[in-house]
Amino acid sequence: MVGNGGREHTLLWKLKADAPSAEFFATQPNGGMASLAEGVEISPGDTEALAGWAASRSIDLTVVGPEAPLAAGITDRFRAKGLPVFGPSAAAARIESSKSYAKELMRDAGVPTADFRVFRDLSAAQDYVREQGAPIVVKASGLAAGKGAIVCEREEDALQAVKEMLEDLRFGEAGREVVVEECMRGEELSVFALTDGREVLTLLPSQDHKRVGEGDTGPNTGGMGAYAPVSLVNPELMREVEERVLFSTLQALEADGSAFQGLLYAGLMLTPEGPKVVEFNCRFGDPETQAILPLLTSSLLEPMATIAEGGSVAGMEARWHSGGAVTTVLASDGYPGGYEKGKAIHLPSSLAEDPELFVFHAGTRTSGGELVTSGGRVLAVTGLGGSLGDASRKSLVGADTVDFEGKYFRTDIGWREFARDEAGRP
């Protein structure tokens, strides 16, 4: 397992449940992963060293969690050594690592997405912003750790945003090129598809909560919680997403010589005109993975290994628990701004004994035999339940029980779903 955040802990936990007798290794594992896998002291970003290490150990399957090593070509290095690896090539990972590439590919393939233009020149970008007016969205084209998209309600904010990206290089190289696009309105939906490049095994759609505060207020974060399933989704919508978004995009990537094998993440906006793509990612979402995988009763290892070995997922199906899952992220006070690290974490044993509660580690590490905080997002507590309401209660009880100084979490994960229920809508 390459990577050491909450997503990677969850993937590792699921793969180990699928293959309990297999041997697992993880790069610089966090405090939760350390009990599931032997640590490998190579940074997730050191793709060359990882390929060498995996070759020396004849590793049967490598799963890459984060986007940065994928964009840096880890898959290409592993493939060159004949090592099975789950994750797209650097060329295919451009669907995430270059927003301009993704937008142009979508436009050429007729995939529904916001209208846009790409700029490298400041005055041209500002002219376009003035011509379009607000609201409007400005995005750094390259990887910006989820912070590179700025939704501007006022024209002057957009003029400022393009200046900060193109002139002040606020996002470094990632912002030397910007995408300026139409502002869409609607609810967001995360759709994950395991794909061999042509066929897809689509997972249960989920909804992320990116803002730090209750009711989706305050600054954006890496994600404060997620839930699944989402009742806005019906088979007809999923067919539309598969046909108009997933298959069209995969065909365009293949035609471009960049067939995508791995996990294709479509971030969608459910607009009045139908689903439109907000962004693609080339890997699992965090924290959506923490909500989805505990609901998956069929194997994840089987489709992943098949894809990594160049096989087809045609005819494979995923099976799910009938209820729902709610994931509450426990963060360090101050996140996404500055926060303190090294706080002792107390995890009561009652948590581990409850089969409907899962604690996934993100920013934790073990120091002198003690578990301490080491990041902004520290843990994710997933509750399962027969209904989403039960899952939410379970997640919150778990979140309350965990103890560390400066613990902060949202108590309203899934609120859109509960608001829908109260209004009597499906």
Unique residue bearing structure tokens 């690896």: 85
Give the contact letters, 202-241, x = binds to ligand GLY (CB under 6 A), - = no: ------x--------------x------------------
3-state secondary structure 195-244: ECCCCEEECCCEEECCEEECCCEEEECCCCEEEECCCCCCHHHHHHHHHH
Angle at 325 between CA 69 and CA 401, to 5 degrees: 95
Residue 137 makes contact with ligand AMP by CB under 6 A: yes
Residue 196 makes contact with ligand GLY by CB under 6 A: no
Residue 146 makes contact with ligand GLY by CB under 6 A: yes
Residue 96 makes contact with ligand GLY by CB under 6 A: no
**Binding-site residue total for ligand AMP (CB under 6 A)?**
15
Pick 190 or 258: Cβ nearer ligand AMP: 190
Binds 285: which of ligand GLY, ligand AMP, none (CB < 5-8 Å by kind): ligand GLY
SS3 317: coil
What kind and span of H or E run contains 184?
none
Burial 125-163 (b: 16+ CB within 10 A, else e): bbebbeebebbbbbbbbbbbebebbbbbeebebbbbbbe
Give the contact letters, 264-283, x = binds to ligand GLY (CB under 6 A), - = no: -----------------x--
- Residue 202 contacts residue 191 (beta carbons within 8 Å): yes
Give the contact letters, 211-250, x = binds to ligand AMP (CB under 6 A), - = no: ----------------------------------------
Pick 207 or 258: Cβ nearer ligand GLY: 207
Number of H helices, E strands in the chain: 15, 22
Binds 114: which of ligand AMP, ligand GLY, none (CB < 5-8 Å by kind): ligand AMP
State the Cα–Cα distance between residues 377 and 249, nearest whole angstrom.
32
Residue 285 makes contact with ligand GLY by CB under 6 A: yes
- Residue 103 contacts residue 164 (beta carbons within 8 Å): no
Interface with ligand GLY by CB under 6 A: which residues? 146, 208, 223, 281, 285-286, 288
Interface with ligand AMP by CB under 6 A: which residues? 114, 137, 139, 146, 149, 151, 181-184, 188, 210, 267, 278-279
